[in-house]
Amino acid sequence: RFLIKGGLAGTAVYVAYDQGLLGSGTQGAEALKKAQETLPPAIQEWTNYLGWEVRAAQLPPTPKFDFSLSDSWNKGVHTVMSALSVAPTRACEYTMEGWKYVKDLVK
């Protein structure tokens, strides 16, 4: 079982690497476009092979993504770095507010 699971995981990683999913954002976008072009004909071919009758109107349309993966990643990195850069200042402010609160309670 362990060898089968390891083999499947290794194959999945290899396929992801081979298709460009582990590369840059532009390679990922190209892989997504390629999948959107390839998937509907492949589904139609398999349904014909299995003898199922599936009309094109029954298949849901492929989703359209209007965002750049690299821009989203960069925005996340900027947000995290911004939060880390203000963390010492905020910690000092919150500490001062806490001491002030404790002093007011003691009075």
SS3 of 2-34: the string is HHHHHHHHHHHHHHHHHCCCCCCHHHHHHHHHH
pLDDT in tens, 9-23: 888 888 877 777 777
d(CA 24, CA 73): 11
Q: How much is the pLDDT for 46?
A: 76
- Whole-prediction pTM value? 0.32
Domain presence at residue 21: yes
Q: Same domain, yes or no, for 1 and 45?
A: yes
Q: Same domain, yes or no, for 41 and 85?
A: no
Count of domains for the chain: 2
Q: How far is CA 47 from CA 4, 50, 53, in A?
A: 28, 5, 7
Domain presence at residue 93: yes
- First CA to last CA across the chain, in angstroms? 67
| Domain containing residue 30 | 1-49
d(CA 96, CA 76): 30
What mean pLDDT is predicted for residues 85-103? 92
What mean pLDDT is predicted for residues 80-104? 92
pLDDT in tens, 55-73: 555 666 667 767 777 778 8
